[in-house]
Structure 1
Amino acid sequence: MNTEHKFPITLPNTLEECEELMERLSASCISCRSQIEAAKAEQKATGRSVDEIWYSRASTALRWMNRDKVRLQNHIARLRKDSRRAHNDLANRLLIEALREHVGIEVFQACAEKARQRMEGMQ
């Protein structure tokens, strides 16, 4: 079993890096799970017991990797939400700029005041 993976992982800052890490983490989980299952099958077939220290380390590593996958999935969801929010904020700013250019200042200020009143009514 590969022991170079350190737990818990450091979460990347970009979606691309997160997706690459998720691929590597998923492959590591599959490999670890396969090794554990192969050891169990060999034990069942031969009757020889599995190396308890190895089995304990492999099972612990698999648990940590699964926890890291959950943390990474949650982190990816936050990054996507933040990305959508930033995109929507930019779209709103560009819309306001376009409206400001297209309509007169009086109309724009009247619309802005109406929006402020609606926001106050929601609170």
Structure 2
Amino acid sequence: MTLPSAVNRANTILYVRRWKESVAFYRDHLGFEVAFRNDWFVEFRLTPTAYLSVADQSRTTMASGNGKGVTLSFRIDDLQAAHRAFLEDGLVPTAIRAQVMGADVFYLSDPEGNRIEFWSPG
């Protein structure tokens, strides 16, 4: 079976315990643009058709994964500059690893413990 209609937008929703810290992390440290916000849910626009949302688990029927089983993976243009910027911002990215599955990559964790992968073609 195939979908009867094409997917025209994607949104990943993270259910978190540390909602305020997580929202601040994605907004202030990663610089993601807020597309929608209420008192328990924030949607960030990543591209015109890709979004990342952060929901306060205490206000939903979904529980936090406690940072287990999720990797957000973002291809970016300037891996070195992003790595330096995170260090200067007081964050703790891993060292850049070369040629992991054909790409250079480093990782960062959000306040909930979700792994974020930043990569560029090697």
Q: Same fold (TM over 0.5)?
A: no
**TM-score, reference length from structure 1:** 0.18
Structure (1 or 2) with the larger CA radius of gyration:
1
Identify the structure with the greater helix proportion.
1
Q: Which has the bigger relative contact order, CA under 8 A and spacing at least 6?
A: 1
The TM-score with structure 2 as length reference comes to: 0.18
